Structure 1
Amino acid sequence: MVASKNALAPEWLDVPEDLNALHAPMWAQDVERNNDGELAVGGLSVAELQQQFGTPLFVMSEPDFRARARDFKTAFDTAFEDICGGVDVYYAGKSFLCTTVAQWVAEEGLRLDTCSGGELAVAQRAGLEGSQLGLHGNNKSRAEITRALEMNVGRIVVDSLDELERVAEIAQELNRTAKVMLRLTPGVHAHTHEFIATAHEDQKFGLSMAEDTSTTAGISAAEEAVAAAINAPSIELLGLHCHIGSQIFEATGFEIAAEKLLRFLDAMQRKYSVVLPELDLGGGYGIAYTPVDTPRPATEIAQAMAAVVRSTCSALGITSPRISIEPGRAIVGSTTFTLYEVGTRKTVRVEAPASSNVSPTEDGVDAQQNVTLARRYVSVDGGMSDNARPVLYDADYSAVLASRASSAAPSLSRVVGKHCESGDIVVRDVYLPEDVAAGDLLAVPGTGAYCWALASNYNYVARPGVVAVRDGAARLIVRGETEEDLLNRDMGAVRD
């Protein structure tokens, strides 16, 4: 019998029928419980991982990463074969990047999108060809632009008129031609399940497609940039780019954006007598962080987007540009879980209004028909320094007891970190076995994207390492920091 739901739990969170079960969409394909009930990835148990590398620890499945990368490439190539001969898939390095992952990306036939000089340096150290790289960002420095041009990157995604002028000037100084795409804001904003097909101009990214009546010409910033790029001798205008949001589960927003950009591209080609051969439709495809998230397969997204591109190009009577996309989270997010060791625990009592989903005898009812409910806090040896998303974006995660199976009753829990911050929450609400104790291991799935990448040294905590598991063996692909690493940057602490 399933236990009663705690009224402190959010509406979407149900009491699991089996606390030992793994919800498959949240995990890499080779993660399972072994015969001892312990979580294992690629046949390697979490106890072995902790013994070899310590905790906290990011644990990535290499086969799963490669499979997801191939799935996107195959799905989009197949869907767009008759439209433009296939798709260029750029892995969004900002989600998670190191030299090993950059090499996997290239080996699986993908390209790499970078957003800084540091990410370019990783790609260069990994041995990637400049032609397979893109450089993004809304405020690229002269040094970053210069580096990109000297590496002969395949494209620089320009974000503003100021930046277009800067890129043109630096390219001219270097006697090079900058291959440029213009990032536009198509007036479609998507966030999870919500799509607002209206103007969304109040943001730092992109060139507005809305007409600017305050100018003499009355044209949009996007068109002004097209005209300027065409007339700049040191610029080769490849085409247009957009990105409508992140953690998106439906194809509708992508479809609307694709149609708007194709119509704009057609208008620009006709007006300025040019050919814009490329169109990038961005990324933002969602993953499962909790059991209620419903990510779409790459094939389903690809087919929906291809149908819109095909029909719009047919209606306009134009040849489709070469399409590119930029998945990051959708490739790396579910490949990885974070392994923590449990430390202290405590249970707090919270008074709440009586609810139909709570038995009055659960914890007692007071005279005002309020109930006193229990919420347990489970502290782990990491926190917001290795996963800033809950405090930054109010992001939800899940967790399981990883070091053993348990038949104990479910207890509504809040997994928190060790930092001196009340917002240091790793998992806001999750049902864990009542017998979770100090020394147990917890695993938080879906931490491959924007966790290590956003990691900090708050409270002088060293950032965790990242291990890649394949065929029953694990190897460090990013070494965890030590206190010595931290002190080596503190010039007052450096000794001769």
Structure 2
Amino acid sequence: MSAPVSAFNELPAHVWPRGAARQEDGVVTVAGVPLPEIAEEFGTPVMVVDEDDFRSRCRDMAEAFGAPENVHYASKAFLTRRIASWVDEEGLSLDVASENELRIALAAGFPAERITVHGNNKSDGFLTLCLESGVGHVVVDSHAELERLEELAALSGTIQDVFVRVKPGVDAHTHEFIATSHEDQKFGMSLASGSAYQAAVDAIAAAHLELTGLHCHVGSQVFDAEGFKLAAERVLRLYRAIWENTGVALDYLDLGGGYGIAYTPAEQALDVRGVAADLLAAVRSAAADLGIEAPTVVVEPGRAIAGPSTVTVYTAGIVKDVHTSDTETRRYIAVDGGMSDNVRPALYAAEYDGRMVNRFTDGEDTATRLVGSHCESGDILIYDATWPDDIVSGDLIALPATGAYCYSMSSNYNSFARPAVVSVRAGRVSPMIRRETVEDILAREV
């Protein structure tokens, strides 16, 4: 995205971490720590997490939705033992989407009873670990999984609380690859066909399962409550049908995550309190109209908590001008990372802001494209920008809002090593994940 050169030295507050600031010498700090000092110590690319920003967004969500335990941090956005500890200390619950995510959470000492487990293809080993560790809820994604979980729970002599995942048929206008509520996709069971209702009835009848709620998800990068409200209204009709036919009143309605963040200055920040108030009021109203008691609403934000907390710092390398026509050129600035540490622009055409963080700039406007170092023409971090023309090799460029789905989707493409991750707080820096090395990559070979 383009930032006018006159404003290029500014740091848009709704995009950058709450602890980010540019000092009088032009150096950008996060939580009082200069980014060039972090780059010098840990190398680049390096991901810098503002701990207070992360924690403050946990609290914002908890206040908006009534209680910390009603907010389940979506660990797929970004999970380490330290992140899990922060979530625990802020009183939030946690959702995991794989066996290893569950194992990391347990290794961090996260209370198993506050963990909800997702996944469309859970293995017997994964389900057994859920039962043995005593997770709070398993979100059942299919009839086959429901039957298998009942069998495994019977063998272990336990009773497992479950949600049934429902496809409400709501389009939240998200990218096709991350849409999750329409009928023709892999998650959940259909509301329209009656499949979800049958799964709920079977779960109630199961001797070793306790159905306590239903789950749905409407998409990602959503900034208002409309899609959530429509999904809630549709799923609440299923609550009434379950109550009328079985006499069971379900306690929870898990509306998933998908809350958006501002990646560029042109985008609006999420109004967490406004969206939550609108959604909760709609659930209460819809439940009253149906003559049922409103269930407790559970949400699963990941991006909205982790995303804005982090910046990724790169070092500029080759800078060259490319002729795009007889009269026009585009400046290409290559950095020492790219699609191996942030695949979202290549995968979703995601847009990012970017700023130089080691000094002020006062160059002239020039059409610019920020690219990575991988052997791939689509390795582009920022497609179309207007940046100053005095950025040179060795300058430090940082992209904000990289805390969600960047490290968690990182790879070793071209045998690039995954970057270091550090957290910062009150002027101090603490390593979280060390930089991968070629020895790490070679060590996996047999």
Name structure 2 gaps, 5 residues minimum.
Answer: none
The match for 1:419 is 374
RMSD, aligned α-carbons: 1.7
Deviation string for 1:242-292 (max 9, x for gaps)?
A: 010001112211111111111211121111221211110111010011112
The match for 1:71 is 60
Q: Distance in 2 between matches of 1:405 and 1:43?
A: 18
Give 1:94-493 correspondences, 5 Å limit: 94-192=76-174, 200-211=182-193, 220-351=194-325, 372-491=327-446
The match for 1:45 is 34
Q: Distance in 1 between matches of 2:5 and 2:252?
A: 47
Pair 271,16 (structure 1): closer, same or farther in 2 beyond 3 Å: farther
User: 1:459, CA displacement in angstroms?
Assistant: 0.9
Stretch moving more, 167-176 or 378-387: 167-176
- One-letter code aligned to 1:133: I
Matched, 1:19 2:19: no
Deviation string for 1:334-380 (max 9, x for gaps)?
A: 100100000001111213xxxxxxxxxxxxxxxxxxx7322111100
Q: Counterpart of 1:343 in 2: which secondary structure?
A: strand
Q: Give the TM-score of the pair, scaled to structure 2.
A: 0.96
| 1:401–1:433 Cα contact (<8 Å) kept | no
Q: Distance in 1 between matches of 2:72 and 2:281?
A: 21
| 1:401–1:432 Cα contact (<8 Å) kept | no
User: 1:159, CA displacement in angstroms?
Assistant: 0.8
| 2:5–2:362 Cα contact (<8 Å) kept | no
The match for 1:55 is 44
Q: Distance in 1 between matches of 2:414 and 2:97?
A: 27
| 2:69–2:91 Cα contact (<8 Å) kept | no
- One-letter code aligned to 1:291: P
User: 1:480, CA displacement in angstroms?
Assistant: 1.3
Pair 294,51 (structure 1): closer, same or farther in 2 beyond 3 Å: same
Q: Counterpart of 1:387 in 2: which secondary structure?
A: coil
Q: Counterpart of 1:413 in 2: which secondary structure?
A: strand
Stretch moving more, 474-483 or 445-454: 474-483
Q: Distance in 1 between matches of 2:147 and 2:168?
A: 22
Deviation string for 1:111-169 (max 9, x for gaps)?
A: 11001111111111111111010110110111111001101000000111111112111
User: 1:45, CA displacement in angstroms?
Assistant: 0.8
- One-letter code aligned to 1:140: K
Q: Counterpart of 1:189 in 2: which secondary structure?
A: coil
Q: Counterpart of 2:347 in 1: which secondary structure?
A: helix
Q: Distance in 2 between matches of 1:307 and 1:33?
A: 41
Name structure 1 gaps, 5 residues minimum.
Answer: 1-11, 79-85, 212-219, 352-370, 492-496
Deviation string for 1:315-342 (max 9, x for gaps)?
A: 1222111211000000010100100000
Q: Counterpart of 1:233 in 2: which secondary structure?
A: coil
Q: Give the TM-score of the pair, scaled to structure 1.
A: 0.87
Q: Distance in 1 between matches of 2:45 and 2:69?
A: 38
Q: Distance in 1 between matches of 2:174 and 2:32?
A: 34
Q: Distance in 1 between matches of 2:170 and 2:226?
A: 10
| 2:223–2:271 Cα contact (<8 Å) kept | no
Q: Counterpart of 1:26 in 2: which secondary structure?
A: coil
User: 1:43, CA displacement in angstroms?
Assistant: 1.3
Q: Distance in 1 between matches of 2:225 and 2:252?
A: 21
| 2:168–2:231 Cα contact (<8 Å) kept | yes
- One-letter code aligned to 2:266: V
- One-letter code aligned to 2:71: V
Q: Distance in 1 between matches of 2:208 and 2:386?
A: 59
Q: Distance in 1 between matches of 2:2 and 2:235?
A: 39
Q: Counterpart of 2:408 in 1: which secondary structure?
A: coil
| 1:87–1:325 Cα contact (<8 Å) kept | no
Bigger share in helix: 2
Q: Distance in 2 between matches of 1:206 and 1:77?
A: 27
Structure 2 counterpart of 1:93, from 56, 64, 75: 75
Q: Counterpart of 2:312 in 1: which secondary structure?
A: strand
User: 1:430, CA displacement in angstroms?
Assistant: 2.1
Q: Counterpart of 1:404 in 2: which secondary structure?
A: coil
Q: Distance in 2 between matches of 1:87 and 1:149?
A: 21
Q: Distance in 2 between matches of 1:410 and 1:21?
A: 16
Q: Counterpart of 1:246 in 2: which secondary structure?
A: coil
Q: Distance in 2 between matches of 1:469 and 1:41?
A: 7
Identity %: 47
